[in-house]
Amino acid sequence: MSTLYRINHLERLPLKTPYPAQVERIRAIKSRLPRQTELVIDFTGVGKGIFDMMVDAGLSPIGVTIHGGFEVHHAGSVVSVPKSVLVSTLVARLHAGELQVPQDLREWPALRRELLNFRPEITRSGNETWNARSGEHDDLVLATALAVWHLTGASTKYAGLLRWYAVEAGGGTASEQWAIGVDLGQSVDPTAIAVLSKSGQPDIAAAAPESAPEVLRARPYACFQAASGRRYTASEMGLIECSDPDDAADLRRAGCKVA
């Protein structure tokens, strides 16, 4: 069965809506959705205070901070994610025909306009990032991307392994998952909310435990790009973990040593 991501609700809160009122609105939306619905919040630039308000309200959010680098870092319920990862995940679903949008959604024209205005850029340091054209908003794109990214399992460490165990235990046959993506607004950007569901039979073969990544050694913070286009950066200890055998071979050819 093919996977389908459906945008069920899009909403922008009025500018300067007080944070307690935003928390209450998100709580009201979540209360009408299935119990297992996950809440994913980008609080980049607005501080952790409103994220803590969501926690105190019992919403159990997954916090996201967006950066312009290469790597995803997990720290409890907060994940640091490159903007390119979030947006490219959404773009991949669009090009695969897996994103379904009911045409009667009020904010769909605004999301479509944001998608058309979004462009990849390469920074001076060689990082890829995505930004809206000058003067345009990107809040709906980011809220939608957060939900899609989470529904792919990327926000949970070892998601593939956990999904495989769930299938083996007979509990992995649920056909629908739900997520709320929230891009918290600042002074000139409204807070955007996107509610998405993912339907389709889990791919047991794809969810099987992956082999242990190969650990390579290079200069601390050295950057490499494999033929696949994926980029790797050595840690402060000079270590690189690589799960793709072809990429690992490219890195060894570029001078990385087996740790």
Residue 165 pLDDT: 45
Residue that has been written with the tokens 């809220």 in this structure: 143
Query: Distance between CA 223 and CA 32 in Å, rounded?
Result: 46
pLDDT-based confidence at 236, cuts 50/70/90? Answer: low
- The residue-averaged pLDDT of 103-112 equals 87
Q: Between 250 and 187, whose confidence is greater?
A: 250
| pLDDT > 80? residue 224 | yes
Query: If 0-12 CB within 10 Å is exposed, 13-18 middle and 19+ buried, where does residue 83 land?
Result: buried
Q: Tell me the pTM.
A: 0.67
Q: Between 103 and 168, whose confidence is greater?
A: 103
DSSP 235: -
pLDDT tens-digit profile of 165-214?
444 555 544 568 999 999 998 777 889 999 999 987 544 444 444 456 78
Q: What are phi and psi of 72, to 5 degrees?
A: -95, 130
Q: Which among 110, 165, 170 has a CA at the least distance from the CA of 141?
A: 110
Residue 206 pLDDT: 44
Q: Which residues pair with 131 in a beta bridge?
A: 119
pLDDT tens-digit profile of 57-98?
999 999 999 887 778 888 888 999 888 888 888 888 888 889
Residue 160 pLDDT: 46
The number of helices, as runs of H, and strands, as runs of E, in the chain is: 8, 15
- The residue-averaged pLDDT of 145-156 equals 84
Residue 205 pLDDT: 46
Query: Distance between CA 197 and CA 220 in Å, rounded?
Result: 41
Those residues whose C-beta lies under 8 Å from the C-beta of residue 130, and which sit 6 or more positions away, are 83, 84, 87, 88, 118, 119, 120, 121
Residue that has been written with the tokens 């809506």 in this structure: 17
| pLDDT > 90? residue 243 | no
For residue 208, the tally of other CB atoms under 10 A from its CB is 14
Query: If 0-12 CB within 10 Å is exposed, 13-18 middle and 19+ buried, where does residue 45 land?
Result: exposed
